[in-house]
Amino acid sequence: MIIFQAVSKNYINNISSLEDINLVINRGEFVSIVGQSGAGKTTLLKLMIMEEKPTKGEIFFDKLMLSKIKKSSLPTLRRNIGMVFQDFKLINTKTVFENVAFVLEVLGKTQIEINKSVTAALDIVGIKDKDSCFPYQLSGGEQQRVAIARAIVHHPIILIVDEPTGNLDLLNGWEIVKLLVKINELGTTVILATHNREIVNSLNKRVVTLDKGRIVQDQATNGKYII
Amino acid sequence: MFLTKLKRIFKTAIVNFWRNGSINIATTGIMTVTLLSISILVILTFLGNSLIENFKTKIDISVYFFSEASEEDILKVRDEVVALPEVREILYISKEQAWERFKVQYSDNPVISQGIGELDENPLFATLSIKAKNMDQYSKINEFLSNARFKDTIQKVSFDDNKTQIAKLSLITKTAQKDGAIVILVFVIISLFVIFNAVRLTMYNYKQEVKIMNLVGAGKWYIQLPFIIEGALYGIIGSIFSISILAGMIFLTKDAQNIESFLYGGSSAGVFKGSLTEYFKNNFLLIFGVQLAAGIFIGVLSSLIAIRKYMKI
């Protein structure tokens, strides 16, 4: 479903963030991307949603070659992906409800459908009662939940999650991971970038390990966080 | 679906405008001041020009004829002058008419009235009062009148007396019109720059928001339109405030405005035919319309340019 073919990404000053990445992620998989801070996890995810472009190599989304995609088709591609950003990226001028509803508004859903889906998504992540708050009125953990609700509300084909447990305590972190597993069981491909060893080890799913911008290990099943 | 989206775009724009209270008040304030300043400047320039035009209509050259010159000769000169392409208006005052006018004008003055009574004959001359189409043409008309064949008929042409004044006024007119236009242009450019930067700073707040919208898959126009409408709102509200303040200023200074009566002691023959208040009332829709259109144009253009910068993801 997502294929990376010899992908490299260099930032300014030729500092290499990713080097020669070859990776195939199939539909319905749960893949954990692990590695220390600065290993290139976030860059890898940014390439998937085309927030960044590769310096070398090619990325495919199904049969679509991402380098050939027109700028006008980019929104349509992104609507198939749900992304939970490390820094949440919530819109500060919109309430919790409006933040989650925005994706559905973009898709042109009716107000009735929006009300129903947003309430359900907020219920799943457990912050239904905060729907009229603005992001700055919430704690870090609550903001993370809103970001997850926004990423799943439109039932995307792929859910990309960047460090979802970084701002949560252990208990809340586990709850979020259980939620991701549940979403994956319902058929959504989940790509999880994290450096939380305990969570990765308990998942028993595929683990791709990055170190200094290279894939050093790809354990197809029962993967463990080994560095 | 299109209508639903359009409705949402408008709703987002209005909600954004409302929620960003203090920033939007500042931006709308700058827009108001900009529109108001440009309007005042344009009105002042227009007022200045109309005053100059008014002065121009009062300038003429007079031709005095010898008292022995026959009416036939005088009328011949008049007909020849009328045929000149430079002449706009010509007024012939015969010896008798001049005498009658003089008598009426000084009827209140007993000394002069007595002096008039003692005179046996009319001491005045027939005159031609000539107005040129523009100020530069008086010297040409003067040249024509200085022709040797008129030397027995024409006693004097007042051009030499008025020459300096005419030249001065001609220079003032040209300078005022040229400099007025330059001042307006410079001011408009500065104002555009100020308002553009004010809107740009407001839009800078939305930088992150625009990026997020892009990343969650919103289309180009779905992202941009609310901000463009917000830009238009600055123009609409700014122009409403501006026209209200302008109206207030004009009505409050109503009594001080009668420049013509101030200058000519009550005669009112100029462009305004009354006061500035009258002019403002008659042209209210035009002034407001131009302000509104300019405000919307500046607001929309500024926000479009500003927001496009953040669309590159």
Within a domain: B62: no
Query: Quick check: B236 and B297 in contact, CB under 8 A?
Result: no
When pLDDT is cut at 50, 70 and 90, the band that residue A36 belongs to is confident
Please give the average per-residue pLDDT across A85-108, as a whole number: 90
B64 and B210 Cβ atoms separated by less than 8 Å: no
Same domain, residue pair B88 and B116? yes
**Pairwise CB contact (< 8 Å): A93 & B16:** yes
B residues 8-37 closer than 8 Å to A (CB): 8, 16, 19-20
CA distances from A223 to A32, A161, A201, A217 (A): 9, 18, 7, 10
Q: Does A46 touch chain B (CB under 8 A)?
A: no
Residue B294 and residue B176 in one domain: yes
ipTM of the prediction greater than 0.90, yes or no: no
Per-residue confidence (pLDDT) for residue B271, from 0 to 100: 45
Confidence of residue B275 (pLDDT cuts 50, 70, 90): low
Task: Tell me if B132 sits within 8 A of B58, measured CB to CB.
Answer: no
**Residue B159 falls within a domain, yes or no?**
no
Contact check, Cβ <8 Å, A75/B8: no
Question: Do the Cβ atoms of B219 and A75 come within 8 Å?
Answer: yes
Mean pLDDT of chain A: 89
B83-87, B163-167, B293-297 — most confident range: B293-297
**Alpha carbon distance A45, B116 (integer Å):** 108
How much is the pLDDT for B255? 64
Do residues B41 and B50 make contact, with C-beta atoms less than 8 angstroms apart? no
**For residue B265, what pLDDT is reported?**
47
CA distance A178 to A42: 22
Residues of A (188-227) whose Cβ lies below 8 Å from B: none
Q: Are residues B47 and B190 in the same domain?
A: yes
Mean pLDDT value of segment A60-82: 87
Report the alpha-carbon angle B110-B111-B116, nearest 5: 95
pLDDT at A122: 93
Three-state SS sequence of chain A = CEEEEEEEEECHHHCEEEEEEEEEECCCCEEEEECCCCCCHHHHHHHHCCCCCCCEEEEEECCEEHHHCCHHHHHHHHCCEEEECCCCCCCCCCCHHHHHHHHHHHCCCCHHHHHHHHHHHHHHHCCHHHCCCCHHHCCHHHHHHHHHHHHHCCCCCEEEEECCCCCCCHHHHHHHHHHHHHHHHCCCEEEEEECCHHHHHHHCCEEEEEECCEEEEEECCCCCCCC
Give the one of B4, B19, B218 whose C-beta lies nearest to A93's C-beta.
Answer: B19
Is residue B75 located within the same domain as residue B44?
Answer: no
Q: Does B215 touch chain A (CB under 8 A)?
A: yes
Which chain B residue lies closest to A51 (C-alpha atoms)?
Answer: B313
Beta carbons of B218 and A93 less than 8 Å apart: no
pTM of the model: 0.69
Whether B130 is in a domain gets the answer: yes
Answer yes or no: is B61 within a domain.
Answer: no
Asked if residue B271 belongs to a domain, the reply is yes
Task: Tell me, yes or no, whether B146 and B22 share the same domain.
Answer: no
Distance from CA of B211 to the nearest CA of A (A): 9
Render pLDDT for B247-263 as a digit per residue (tens, 0 to 9). Answer: 998 888 776 655 555 55
Phi, psi of B186 (to 5 degrees): -60, -45
Distance CA B19, CA B213 (A): 18
* CB atoms inside a 10 Å sphere around CB B157: 22
pLDDT in tens, A106-165: 888 889 999 999 999 999 888 889 999 999 999 888 898 899 999 999 999 999 999 887
Give me the helix-helix angle, B284-309 and B159-204, nearest 10°. 40
- Could you tell me the maximum CA-CA distance found in chain B, to the nearest angstrom? 105
| B86 in the same domain as B179 | no
Compare CB distances from B209 to A75, A93, A108 and report the shortest one's residue. Answer: A93
- B218 chain-A contacts, CB cut-off 8 A: 75, 102, 106
pLDDT greater than 80 at residue B55: no
Question: Are B238 and B287 within one domain?
Answer: yes
Same domain for B213 and B76: no
Predicted confidence at residue B268, as pLDDT, reads 43
Residue-wise pLDDT for B177-220, tens only, equals 788 788 888 878 888 888 888 888 888 888 888 888 888 888 88
Same domain, B246 and B306: yes
The one-letter amino acid code at B20 reads N
Q: Are A3 and A60 in contact (CB under 8 A)?
A: yes
From B94, B125, B152, give the residue that closes a domain.
Answer: B152
What is the distance in angstroms between the CA of the first residue and the CA of the last residue of chain A?
A: 27
- Which of A42, A92, A134, A154 is the best residue to mutate to test the B interface, defined by the most B CB atoms within 10 Å of its own CB? A92
Residue A45 pLDDT grade (very low, low, confident, very high; cuts 50, 70, 90): very high
- Residue in chain B closest to A154 (alpha carbons) equals B216
* Lowest mean pLDDT, pick from A212-221, B29-38, B262-271, B289-298: B262-271
Could you please report the per-residue DSSP string of B191-219? Answer: HHHHHHHHHHHHHHTTHHHHHHHHHTT--
From the list A81, A103, A105, the residue facing B8 with the nearest CB is: A105
Query: Predicted confidence band at B273 (pLDDT cuts at 50, 70, 90)?
Result: very low
Mark which of B128, B152, B176 sits at the end of a domain: B152
Ramachandran quadrant class, B295 (left: phi over 0; alpha: psi -120 to 50; beta: rest): alpha
Per-residue pLDDT, B87: 85
Q: Is B160 within a domain?
A: no
Those residues with Cβ within 8 angstroms of residue B276's Cβ, 6 or more apart along the chain or in another chain: B43, B47, B250, B253, B257
Question: Nearest 10 degrees: CA dihedral of B224, B228, B230, B233?
Answer: -160
- pLDDT for residue B274: 52
B216·A105 Cβ contact <8 A: no
Q: Is A105 near chain B, with CB under 8 Å?
A: yes
Which residues form the domain of B125?
67-152
Higher pLDDT, B107 or A48: A48
Q: What number of CA atoms fall less than 13 Å from residue A121's CA on the CB side?
A: 29
- CB burial of B131-153 (b: ≥16 within 10 Å; e: otherwise) equals bbeebebbbebbebbeeeebeeb
Are A138 and A152 in contact by the 8 Å Cβ rule? The answer is: no
Assess whether B175 and B230 both reside in one domain: yes
Three-point CA angle B141, B143, B145, nearest 5°: 70
Same domain, B26 and B76: no
pLDDT value for B269: 42
Give a yes or no: residue B128 inside a domain: yes
Identify all chain A residues contacting B9, using CB atoms and an 8 Å cutoff.
Answer: none
pLDDT for the residue B40: 85
- Which one has a higher pLDDT value, A168 or B7? B7
Count: domains in chain B = 2
Say what the pLDDT of residue A28 is: 92
Q: What is the DSSP letter of B122?
A: -
pLDDT of B116 strictly over 90: no
Q: Which residues of A touch B220 (CB under 8 A)?
A: 72, 75
Q: State how far Cα A185 lies from the chain centre.
A: 16
Query: Is residue B158 a part of any domain in this protein?
Result: no
CATH number at residue B122: 3.30.70
Q: Which residues of A touch B217 (CB under 8 A)?
A: 75-79, 81, 103, 106
Contact list in B for residue A79 (CB cut-off 8 A) is 216-217
Question: Is the domain of B221 the same as that of B274?
Answer: yes
pLDDT for residue B313? 62
Which of these three, B152, B180, B195, is where a domain ends?
Answer: B152
In this structure, of A19-23, B143-147, B243-247, the range with the lowest mean pLDDT score is B143-147
